[in-house]
Chain A
Amino acid sequence: MIFRKTAVFVLAVLLFGCRTSPVPPEVLEADLQEQDLWRAGASLFAGQEHAAYAQSLKSARRTLDAENLKLGWFRDYGRIRRDFEAALSAGKALRSKVRSIVAVKTSSLAETATAVRRRLQTLDGLTRSLVERGEARKQLVQASILLSEADGLTRQAKFDEAAAKLDSASSLAAEAEQRVVSYIARYLDPAQVRAWKTAADETIADSRKRSVTAVIISKLERRLSVYKNGEIIRTFDIGLGFNGLADKRHSGDNATPEGRYTIIRKIPSSLYYKALLINYPNDEDRRWFAREKARGNIPGSVGIGGDVEIHGGGPDSLTRGCVSLDNNKMDELYALVSVGTPVTIIGTMELDNYVIKAIRGN
């Protein structure tokens, strides 16, 4: 009798007591999803939806806890599974929303970064071509560092910090642009450009009228053009002074003078290959210099400067005010001109010059 009772009990335990269903896999999945959502910054980017999701997960976990308190053979994970499935589904929707918010933010920041990067590239090109080697370039480098940092922060989804870095980069770029613009303000002034164009047109007209060769040097375009009988016959790339875009005011300012000059001497062997000496300072330069000195705009101890040449040695933009060409180009030019050839040096003839385009593009 005892044996029979024991056997029934063991059988009952085997049949019912050990029939505890395993915890549904959705429970572990929900744990992983919760971590993933936290890492994705769900509460940060979609606060309301995250709160609703958290509530649904909490309620599912509470049901699970309650169910776990029951004896194994009374547990029913069917409802638990349904609750966790609902939480997982809410989490999935939330993840998708977070992904889309992150994509929008990333794309918006990338757009701003591209605009700043384009601006920096333009200014980099301008400072190089304008031979601006000072504060503007320093600011451009600092801005490019901030831009790189912003890229890294965007990748880490630290959007607010990235936006702040981009703002700083943009401000630095604006300051650099202001410096560049102040450096080349004359090239942005239509009245000044028209005056330069008039001087060039008159030189060309004179070349046509007197059937002579004339040289026009356009500083902004770094271009020397040779005219014969009013027609352009040859152009060369040139380099200018370290401060080449400025009009020469006195000795040592590294600027290239602007005005109407003539070649007064051909030098077959100079420090920089061959050279053509022009008559800077001319009478107009002297009058202007005397007036400015009298007004106190130029220090008394400073001279007007001189020995401005067109010479070989390469079209580097770091002469002390001379105009430089490649040696082989110098050979050609040397053969085309003679003592007395008019040389008109202007800023630019083009009202819509590349500086204006670049600045407008920004």
Chain B
Amino acid sequence: MKNIVKGLTLALVVVFVFASCAKAPTQLMDSAKAAIQGVVDAKGGVYAKDELNTLNGDLQAAMDEVTAQSKKFFKKFGPAKEMLTKLVADADAVKALIPGRIEEAKSAADIAVNEAKATCEEAKALLEKAPKGKGTKADIEAMKADLAGLETAMADVQSAVAAEDYFGAKDKAMVIKEKAATIVEQVNAAIAKVKGR
């Protein structure tokens, strides 16, 4: 009987040591959070939105797993550790994607800015040589004022590029290009009108 009690006590001690005292993977949790913060700091919120959302979802799932295991007597953090380790690797991979995406956005913005500039220049050159006769002079003057407005807006585009807001810069540049192209069309129409007389 004595031996049975001893055996049971020993078994309980072993179970307590190996199960109840299993520690939550705090270091891995911190690493995972830091890896996600790294993605955020690298502008993941702008350039890797979907991926960042997945990472946050995975972190939440891993934390839920840790919480669930912490409440159990027989704690098993293995799956949570696997999830967190994978998360760190995934976050690093996403972070590595971002510079390429920024470059891509920058290059798209540069193209849009250059096109907008070129169209404004074209409009300006056309306005200079536009026929300022009766019937067209008023319109030409109006278009010059409009072009001046577009040129002022181009300064905002440059500021957006300088602030690395490439999506904003591209959108604005595209609108400017469209409006400058309208001026080009109108001047060409005025020239054609005068030539047709």
- Interface set of A (CB-CB < 8 Å, partner B): 38, 58, 62, 127-128, 131, 133-134, 137-142, 144-145, 148-149, 152, 239, 242, 272, 313-314, 316-318, 324
Closest A residue to B183 by beta carbon equals: A141
Whether the Cβ atoms of B135 and A138 lie closer than 8 Å is no
**Contact present for A149 and B142 (CB under 8 Å):** no
Taking A141-B145, A318-B138 as given, write out 15 further A-B residue pairs in contact, using a Cβ cutoff of 8 Å, ordered by the A residue number: A62-B64, A127-B142, A128-B138, A128-B142, A137-B142, A138-B148, A141-B150, A141-B179, A142-B149, A144-B179, A145-B172, A149-B175, A242-B141, A272-B134, A316-B137
Assess whether A133 is in contact with B141, with CB atoms less than 8 Å apart.
yes
Q: Which B residue sits closest to A128, measured CB to CB?
A: B142
B145 and A316 contacting across the interface, CB-CB below 8 Å: no
B107 interface residue, CB < 8 Å from A?
no
Bound Cα distance A171, B147 (Å): 20
Q: B148's closest neighbor in chain A, by CB?
A: A138
List which B116-136 residues lie within 8 A (CB) of chain A.
134-135
Does B171 count as interface, using CB distance less than 8 angstroms?
yes
Query: Are A141 and B141 in contact, CB atoms less than 8 angstroms apart?
Result: no
Bound state CA distance, A56 and B141, in angstroms? 64
Decide: A139 near B134, CB < 8 A? Known: A133-B141, A148-B175: no
Main secondary structure on B side of the interface with A: helix
Number of B interface residues at 8 Å Cβ cutoff, please give it: 23
Q: How far is the CB of A325 from chain B (nearest CB, A)?
A: 11
Kindly name the residue among B134, B148, B176 whose own CB sees the greatest number of chain A CB atoms within 10 A: B134
Contacts of A140 in B (CB 8 A): 146, 149
Judged by a CB distance under 8 angstroms, whether B43 is at the interface is no
Q: Please tell me if the beta carbons of B149 and A38 are within 8 angstroms of each other in the complex.
A: no
The answer on a CB contact under 8 Å between A145 and B175 is: yes
**Distance A316 CA – B139 CA, assembled complex (angstroms):** 9
Asked whether any CB of chain A lies closer than 8 Å to the CB of B144, the reply is: yes
B3 at the interface (CB under 8 A from A): no
Q: Is the CB of B175 within 8 A of A318?
A: no
Q: Does B153 contact A (CB under 8 A)?
A: yes
Tell me if A137 and B179 are in contact (CB < 8 A): no
**Known contacts A38-B53, A128-B142, A133-B144; A316 and B134 CB within 8 A of each other:** yes
Does A145 lie within 8 Å of B176, measured CB to CB?
Answer: yes
Q: Which residues of B contact A134 (CB under 8 A)?
A: 145
* Chain A residues whose CB sits within 8 angstroms of the CB of B149 once the complex forms: 137-142, 145
In the assembled complex, the Cα of A144 lies from the Cα of B179 at a distance in Å of: 9
Residues of B participating in the A interface, judged by any CB pair closer than 8 Å: 53, 64, 68, 134-135, 137-138, 141-142, 144-146, 148-150, 152-153, 171-172, 175-176, 178-179
Residue in B64, B68, B137, B176 whose beta carbon sits within 8 Å of that of A318 in the complex: B137
Residue of B142, B150, B178 touching A133 (CB-CB under 8 A): B142
Chain A contacts for B134, CB-based, 8 A:
272, 313-314, 316, 324
Residues of B within 8 A of A62 (CB): 64, 68
Contact A141 B142 (CB under 8 A): no
Q: Once bound together, how far apart are the Cα atoms of A58 and B149, in whole Å? A: 53
- Nearest-neighbour CB distance to chain B for A136, whole angstroms, equals 8
Cα-based distance from A94 to B172 in the complex (angstroms) = 34
Q: Please, which residue of chain B has its CB at the minimum distance from the CB of A141?
A: B149
Flag if B171 contacts A142 (CB, 8 Å).
Answer: no
CA gap between A137 and B138 in the complex, in Å: 13
Q: Are the CB atoms of A133 and B68 closer together than 8 Å? A: no
Residue in A137, A138, A149, A314 whose beta carbon sits within 8 Å of that of B172 in the complex: A149
Min C-beta distance of A321 to chain B, whole Å: 15
Cross-chain contact B146 with A314 (CB below 8 angstroms): no
A-B contact pairs, 19 of them (CB 8 A): A58-B64, A133-B142, A133-B144, A137-B142, A138-B152, A139-B149, A140-B146, A141-B153, A144-B179, A145-B175, A145-B176, A149-B175, A314-B134, A316-B134, A316-B137, A316-B138, A317-B138, A318-B137, A318-B138
Instruction: Kindly list chain A residues whose C-beta atoms are within 8 Å of the C-beta of B53.
Output: 38
Tell me which residues across on chain A come within 8 A of B137, comparing CB atoms: 316, 318
Q: Closest CB-CB distance, A157 to chain B, in whole Å?
A: 13
Contact among A138, A144, A272 for B145, CB-based, below 8 A:
A138
Question: Which B residues are in CB contact (< 8 Å) with A138?
Answer: 145-146, 148-149, 152
With CB as the reference atom, state the residue of chain A lying closest to B149. Answer: A141
Whether A318 touches B141, Cβ cut-off 8 Å, given contacts A38-B53, A149-B171, A149-B172, is yes
